[in-house]
Amino acid sequence: MARSDPHSCADLDQGMVEHIDFDLDVSFDRREVAGSVSLRLREPAGGPLDLDTRNLRIGDCRGENGAEIPFALGDPDPILGSTLRLDLPPGTRRIEIDFRTTEGSTALDWLAPEQTAGGRLPYLYTQCQPHHARSVFPCQDTPRVRYTFSARITVPEGFTAVMAAAAAGDEPAGGGRRVFRFEMPQPVPSYLTAFAIGEIAGKDVSDRVRIYAEPAVLDRAVWEFAGVDRMIRVAEGLFGPYEWERYDMLVMPFSFPYGGMENPRLTFLTPTLLAGDRSLVNVVAHELAHSWTGNLVTNASMEDFWINEGFTVWAERRILEALEGSEYAALHAAIGRIALDEAFERFGADSPYTRLKTPLAGVDPDEVYSEVPYEKGFLFVTLLERTVGRERWDAVIRRYMDRFRFTSITSEDLLAFLEEELPGLADSVDARRWVYEPGLPENAPAFASPRLERVRWLVKAWQEGSRPGPEDVSGWAAEEWQLFLKWLPREIAEEDCRLLDERFSLTASGNYEILVAWLTLAVRSGYRPVLERVRQVLTTVGRQKYLRPLYQALLARPELRPLAEEIFAAMRTKYHTLSRVAIEGLFEKTRK
């Protein structure tokens, strides 16, 4: 089989890791995680074993009886990192490796106290998807490999460690330190390994859901996410039993670069979801849905990322539909369609990155991250569902979960499964075109609903010169506002900006989706009264989804470029590396 994942050096013929014991010690003074991993292989192996690493310092490697294992660390590749090649004596099943992380650990975000809500203690969290786990510990960093694990994480007394695993207790470790223990009984791929350390408190909202957050935001978080247990029950009704026992959530500090990350048993969430009105819980529905689509049935590599995200967006919207009705779900589909069209614009509709199966050899998956796998994937799954009818499709989805649970699959595996289950379906919808060709096929499903039509109508009226009044928008959910703002022309007159803001207080919105859609439009329109609020957002929020359009809008206006430069100069070391690199790219692209 040799190497099956373009983003990993792992050769599964050499052996496969099936269990890891982590022993990690976290130093905030040195900004370093030091310790060991003990890897157990499925079967005894001998000869070379290649592991992924990035910017790690490797100490000793030991085999079964403590005997040293010779190793060599290859030259670093900018995307893959360095191959750690071990030379195993025959019959080796257990390998212990000592290592330390460095400043170049791309999965680690070290925060100073002032970057936290409490402002008292520093904070550390991981973001391993897609190929960053290797910068925290040596591993076969491909989702083809799954392992169970145990972990000991030692931290300074006063800090709390949480992990995407079952908590197994904590006790003093001597010398002013405390050790937190965890067990992960379900096998997971490396990208789902996650922990966070800081001033963290927890509160139960049901017998299987606890919210973790900094004490300063915990109560708000508990209120915002109080409905999650109900969501889990709905999801179980749709996709089968929840396999991970607990569903806890961790509200992150502001620098967290994503909306959410589906770390098993412990979803990570951006604090921008705390809108105070539960209007952004679709992100929780999404991360929860990954408990089936993604964490149970996993993409084999980032080339098949849509197997994770396309199915999950579909599942997210099925949950939303069950909870809020199909009209509400249709609003989300329409918002998704706007994002998809923007992605096509960014890449060009012929780009290979608009295929569902994307060729990624030599490509950094973070650089081509886009809405395509999400929204084109969603449309494709919805097309399949609509073509066979919901009842049959739901039964097929249950069998899909059953067949592939705790495994990793490719687009080809999926197509073969469909052919077995529903012969002829794939051909009848031109599935190969959807999966292997760029752009959006004409048979993409469309969404209609009175609520959608109403927003469309108001946008049309706008173009004909009429402006909405309070009665036009009464009863609008956040989604209608997003659609309205995104469907308006890319630039509008300054007096229209003023009118919208005076009538609807958009600059004061506590819903970041509305706020950022509004600020982006206002900045593109050169409406200066929003600039202070833009500065405030760009200096507090780290979610790339919000940073990118705002910087892009500023950079598109020569007179606002200095403001973008000034803010970025102050923030570059505070943003997550991923966000920093993405924004540097925007500056680069727009440099005259």
Q: Give residues in contact with ligand BES (CB under 6 A).
A: 129-130, 258-262, 283, 286-287, 290, 309, 369, 374, 545
355 binds, among Zn ion, ligand BES, none (CB under 5 to 8 A by kind): none
Active site annotation includes 191: no
Residue number, 288 or 383, with CB nearest to ligand BES: 288
Rounded to 5 degrees, what angle do the CA atoms 401, 402, 406 make? 75
- Inter-residue contact 356 to 411 (CB < 8 Å): yes
* Residues 249 and 217: beta-carbon distance below 8 Å: no
Q: Rounded to the nearest whole angstrom, what is the least distance from the CB of residue 298 to ligand BES in the complex?
A: 11
Convert 303-320 into a string of H (helix), E (strand) and C (coil): HHHHHHHHHHHHHHHHHH
Please name which of 308, 309, 311 lies closest in space to residue 143, comparing C-alpha atoms. Answer: 308
Q: Which does 291 bind (CB under 5 to 8 A by kind): ligand BES, Zn ion, none?
A: none
Active-site hit among 125, 191, 374, 527: 374
Closest CA to 289 of 267, 257, 259: 267
Residue number with CB closer to Zn ion (371 or 480): 371
Nearer to ligand BES, 290 or 451 (CB): 290
CB of 156 to ligand BES, least distance (A): 29
Q: Which stretch binds Zn ion (CB under 5 A): 156-164, 181-189, 201-209, 303-311?
A: 303-311
Phi first, then psi: give them for residue 442, nearest 5 degrees: -70, -25
- Which one of Zn ion, ligand BES, none is in contact with 295 (Cβ closer than 5 to 8 A by kind)? none
287, 316, 479, 491: the active-site residue: 287
Task: Pick the closer one to ligand BES by CB: 355 or 545.
Answer: 545
Name the H helices within 62-134: none
C-alpha gyration radius of the chain: 24
The residue among 144 and 152 lying less far from ligand BES, judged by its C-beta, is 144
Nearer to ligand BES, 138 or 260 (CB): 260
From CA 387, how far away is CA 401, in angstroms rounded? 20
Burial class (CB in 10 A: 0-12, 13-18, 19+), 27: middle
Q: For residues 381 and 458, which CB has a smaller minimum distance to ligand BES in the complex?
A: 381
DSSP letters, 24-62, are EEEETTTTEEEEEEEEEEEEEEEEEEEEEESSEEEEEEE
Residue closer to ligand BES, measured from CB, 49 or 164: 164
What is the smallest separation between the CB atom of 40 and Zn ion, expressed in angstroms? 30
Distance CA 273, CA 455 (A): 24
Tokens found for residue 200: 């963290």
Cα Dmax for the chain: 80
Which token pair is 319?
A: 């949950």
Select from Zn ion, ligand BES, none the partner in contact with residue 480, using the beta carbon and a kind-dependent cut-off of 5 to 8 Å: none
Sign of the CA dihedral 513, 518, 521, 523? negative
- DSSP for 488-530, please give it: S-SS--HHHHHHHHHHH-GGG-S-HHHHHHHHHHHHHTT-GGG
Q: Shortest gap between Cβ of 336 and ligand BES (angstroms)?
A: 9
Task: Compute how many residues bind Zn ion; rule: CB under 5 A.
Answer: 2
Q: Which does 553 bind (CB under 5 to 8 A by kind): Zn ion, ligand BES, none?
A: none
Binding site partner of 336, from ligand BES, Zn ion, none, Cβ cut-off 5-8 A by kind: none
Compose the 258-297 pattern: x for residues touching Zn ion by CB under 5 A, - for all others: ----------------------------------------
Identify whether the C-beta of residue 363 lies closer than 8 Å to the C-beta of residue 79. yes
CB 294 → ligand BES: shortest distance, Å?
A: 7
Residue numbers 305-364 binding Zn ion by CB under 5 A: 309, 312
Packing angle, helices 326-347 and 450-463, rounded to 10: 50
Smallest separation (angstroms) from ligand BES to the CB of 260: 5
In the bound state, the residue with its beta carbon closest to ligand BES is 259
122 binds, among ligand BES, Zn ion, none (CB under 5 to 8 A by kind): none
User: If contact means CB under 5 to 8 A according to the sort of partner, which of ligand BES, Zn ion, none does residue 575 touch?
Assistant: none
Shortest distance (Å) from residue 402 CB to Zn ion: 22
Strand-pair category, 297-299 with 407-409: parallel
494 is catalytic: no
CB of 291 to ligand BES, least distance (A): 11
AA identity, residue 330: A
Give the footprint of Zn ion on this chain (CB under 5 A).
309, 312
**Annotated catalytic sites, by residue?**
287, 374
